[in-house]
Amino acid sequence: MDTLLIIRQNYSSFTTVEKKIADYIFEVGEKMLVKSAQEVAGEIGSSSAALVRFSRKLGYDGFSQFKQKLSASYAAHVDDEEYYKEVNDSETPTSIKNKLKVRVNHMVETTNSALLDDEIMEAVSSIDAAENIFVFGIGASSMVAQDIFQKFSRIGKQVIFIQDAHLFVSSLSVSNKKTIFIGISMKGETKEVLELASVVKNMKIPIIAITSRENSSLGQMADCILHSVSGEDYQMRNAATMSLMAQLYVVDILFYMYVSEHFTESYDKLEKTRDAIKLLEKKWQD
């Protein structure tokens, strides 16, 4: 398997030292291939033993084999590296399509690696048990909150999506049904989301976080974390497009898993909503 891809897929699970090694690899590129373990360790401020452990964790016998496989990976990606860069002033439709294809594929790979099956099933169980689902996000994340509202409302779940924080808390405080809160923030540090999550926490309401960072402020308040990873945290500049797509991708996984667990009931309700929409469209045409 591609060594660079293996590093990217496992990045979110690395220790601090391992992330330091990975960041160094992406920063210096092929220049690292001519360096000894001692030289690399000295530049990183770590040890040769740490490099060996890092290599073995990724499935290699040692640092030497790791460098061999990494060299092959660089050779294979020589044409792709341009596609990880931001848009410039000499693009063509083909180059933009290729750039987005590479970055979307990379986002899917990294999110699949970071998003654990147990996390998905825990969130599905929480949504199943809830009578009210309150969702909140700011900016691009508000589009994700709206997507949750649209998807789960169509299969009969009561989803409350309110952009005004005061109205949100007011509705939440008088809810007498079993409730959960889904907070959405890519880095887990969005001020408005954290303020609402703090209020929700005081109300003893379970929190599901859709975020890329488990140790973020939102992640630490959450009862369940759904990891959405844009894949651009350590090599490429941040792009709101990839972050948004990662969050929407996680919502799709969550929704389809819920539908699979409640297939007959969900299918019947989807049919009812589809028929109602067709009837409405017919009324508009008449």
pLDDT value, residue 85? 59
Phi then psi dihedrals of residue 210, to 5 deg: -105, 105
Residues of the chain scoring pLDDT < 70: 1, 75-88, 231-240
Q: Dig out the tokens for 165 from the structure.
A: 């924080």
Distance of alpha carbon 121 from its chain centroid, rounded? Answer: 16
Question: How many CB atoms lie under 10 A from the CB of residue 16?
Answer: 6
pLDDT value, residue 263? 92
Question: How many CB atoms lie under 10 A from the CB of residue 36?
Answer: 13
List of residues 6+ apart from 268 with CB closer than 8 A: none
DSSP string spanning 212-276?
S-TTSHHHHH-SEEEE---S-SSSS---HHHHHHHHHHHHHHHHHHHHHHTHHHHHHHHHHHHHH
Domains and CATH numbers, the chain: 1-78 (1.10.10.10), 113-280 (3.40.50.10490)
Assessment of whether the complete model's pTM goes beyond 0.75: no
pLDDT value, residue 99? 74
* Strands of the sheet with 132-137, listed across from one edge: 159-161, 132-137, 179-184, 207-211, 224-227
pLDDT value, residue 238? 44
pLDDT value, residue 232? 60
pLDDT value, residue 234? 40
Question: In 29-87, which ranges are continuous DSSP H helix?
Answer: 37-44, 48-57, 63-76
DSSP annotation of 89 reads T
